[in-house]
Amino acid sequence: MREKELIVYRNIVREEGKLLSNMSVIMDRYKEIYHYKSASGRLEELKDLFYACIHELLELAGNHGFYGNLWHCYLANLLVNDENSYSRACEVVGAVEGSINQAVLHDIIIFKEFFDFDFAPMAKVFGAESWALIEDYKSSDEESKVYNTRIRQRICDLAEQFRCDHTPEEMKETLTQFYKDYGVGKFGLHKAFRIVSGEEGAQIVPITNIAHVHLDDLVGYESQKRKLIENTEAFVQNRKANNCLLFGDAGTGKSSSIKAIANEYYEKGLRIIEIYKHQFRDLNDIIGQIKNRNYKFIIYMDDLSFEDFETDYKYLKAVIEGGLEKKPKNVLIYATSNRRHLIRETASDKNDRDEDLHTNDTVQEKLSLAYRFGVTIYFGKPAPKEFQNIVRTLAKRYHIDMEEEKLLLEANKWELSHGGLSGRTAQQFIDYLLGKAPCGG
């Protein structure tokens, strides 16, 4: 087989293609060796390698949740994860013009040979009845450790579509459409990410188990949600948009709103990267990794605030506005905080002129970070009637059968000892009721 002749997708062999290379060796040599009886030892070596490949494919199914033809799923997975000049150009925007298409077609012809390979004679030579498992694998109900259910399904569907494509041209068109619809690599296949620091610097790592929160799940706060939606829609539609600060009382849905935004606009190319204060020094490195991609990125900072002695906010100020390098158009910063001005203020900032002759300078320095967020949205605690409405709505959503008067009475008792009036408290109360319900009830 010709995996060493790959051009555009050459990194597949170098980085993720050990299994592909091993299978290629077996495909090339098993017939030749089989016909030479004196080479029985070499045939046994190939047989051992073949069973090792079967083991790897079964492990792949367990980790990724793949089903159906695991060999085809493996090949499809290689193609959708390889970030190269062609796949990056096609993500979100679709087919591109130019000579690169001929180079890609050259590679797809090679991949089609792998897809169409008939393993029946090989399995017979090696006495490997177990290969039948690989061609029609039934997965368990356990979730993938690598992909969420939706992405796993898309890759399995892509493998099946490749099987149905009659020509390399059709296969290339199918792959290109996948890049347009879902993207490529980690940014295409995942919606949320975290930062992990290591010897090679800051790495953007997928979060595979993001909460499935939707804007409709947040009861009330309609004007706040509308303001957040308007800013985000402008961003994903390539219009002017602002960095956004959601501030206010604890438990009022600030973080949930941003998670919901990530879920709502994933199909339109929006991705979210979570970062913590101690990682702000890596911001320029992180932005450098995403600025030339076709996705829109929200850098998300949850529960953002600073004490007097903390100075890391200066890195954030420089990135948002003020550094020599302009912030890319495909990056916005969304933050949540319980503090409107983010940095702790003291009475001495305004009153103690003995400590600071330029009091106004001190105040302005502390306000300057908050001023860099063009959109600020306040989430306040709900009034008692609003809290009761949240409880009623959640009880109905979760099919809790309780008289309304008793429901609200118990909810009021709950909030008095569990953090006061907030959407979080209401959800915790509903979870408490659900936990008390008998199984099957």
Residues 134 and 218 in one domain: no
Q: Alpha helices, DSSP H only, in 355-422?
A: 359-371, 384-397, 404-417
Q: If we measure between CA atoms, which residue out of 103, 99, 119 comes closest to residue 1?
A: 119
Tens digit of pLDDT for each residue in 136-147? 999 876 667 788
Domain range for residue 288? 192-379
In a domain, 308, yes or no: yes
Which of 169, 186, 203 is the endpoint of a domain?
186
In a domain, 441, yes or no: no
Residues 251 and 134 in one domain: no
Domain CATH number, residue 230: 3.40.50.300
Tens digit of pLDDT for each residue in 45-62? 888 999 999 999 999 999
**Residue, of 316 and 294, whose pLDDT is higher:** 294
- Give CA–CA dist 329/326, Å, rounded: 9
Could you tell me which residues come within 8 angstroms of residue 421 by beta carbon, excluding any fewer than 6 positions away? 381, 382, 383, 384, 386, 387, 415
Query: In the prediction, which pLDDT does 142 show?
Result: 66
Tens digit of pLDDT for each residue in 255-290? 999 999 999 999 899 999 999 888 888 888 999 999
In a domain, 302, yes or no: yes
Tokens of 54: 């079967």
Residues 296 and 244 in one domain: yes
Residues 120 and 89 in one domain: yes
pLDDT for residue 355 is more than 60: no
Residues 243 and 299 in one domain: yes
pTM: 0.81
Residues 208 and 343 in one domain: yes
Residues 166 and 243 in one domain: no
Residues 405 and 337 in one domain: no
Tokens of 56: 């790897």
Q: Per the structure, how many domains does the chain have?
A: 3
Residues 218 and 128 in one domain: no
Residues 206 and 156 in one domain: no
**Mean of the per-residue pLDDT values of the chain:** 86
Q: If we measure between CA atoms, which residue out of 10, 134, 22, 23 comes closest to residue 68?
A: 134
Element (H, E) at 92: none
Residues 107 and 161 in one domain: yes
Tens digit of pLDDT for each residue in 156-177? 999 999 999 999 999 999 999 9
- Give CA–CA dist 180/24, Å, rounded: 30
pLDDT for residue 10 is more than 60: yes
- Give CA–CA dist 93/298, Å, rounded: 19
Which of 167, 186, 205 is the endpoint of a domain?
186
Residues 99 and 113 in one domain: yes
